[in-house]
Amino acid sequence: MSTENEGTAVPADHPAAPSTPTTPPTPPAPPTAPPASAPTPAAADAPTAAQPPTAAQPPAPEAAPAPDAAHAAHTPAHAHAPESAASTPAPAAAGAGWPPPPPTVPAWGAPLPPAAPEAPRRRTGGLVAAVLVAALVAGGIGGGIGYWAAQRGDDGVSSTTVSSGEAPASFKREPGTVAAVAATALPSVVTIQAKSGGSQGEGEGGTGTGFVYDQEGHIVTNNHVVASAADGGTLSVTFPDGKSYDAEVVGRAEGYDVAVLKLTNAPKGLKPLPLGDSDKVAVGDSTIAIGAPFGLSNTVTTGIISAKNRPVASGDGSGGSNSYMSALQTDASINPGNSGGPLLDASGAVIGINSAIQSTGSGFGQSQAGSIGLGFAIPVNQAKNVAQQLIRTGKPVYPVIGATVNMQEQGEGATIASQGSGGTPSVTPDGPAAKAGLKAGDVITGFGGHQIDSGPSLISEIWTHKPGDQVKITYERDGKTSTATVTLGERTGDS
Query: Active-site residue numbers?
Result: 224, 257, 339
Q: Which residues, in sequence order, are CB contacts of 30 under 8 Å at separation 6+?
A: 75, 76, 77, 98
Instruction: Report, in this order, helix, strand and coil percent for the chain, each rounded to 5.
Output: 20, 25, 55
d(CA 406, CA 415): 6
**For residue 74, which of 9, 16, 36, 27 has the smallest C-alpha distance?**
27
58 DSSP assignment: P
CA atoms within 13 A on the CB side of 482: 13
Ramachandran area for residue 129 (φ above 0: left; ψ -120 to 50: alpha; else beta) = alpha
- Residue 492 in 3-state DSSP? strand
Cα angle 324-491-464, degrees, rounded to a multiple of 5: 40
**Dihedral pair phi/psi, residue 252, rounded to 5°:** -135, 140
Whether the upstream peptide bond of residue 187 has omega within 30° of 0, thus cis, is: no
Report CA-CA distances (Å) from 418 to 164, 403, 422, 426: 70, 10, 12, 6
**For residue 257, which of 103, 73, 460 has the smallest C-alpha distance?**
460
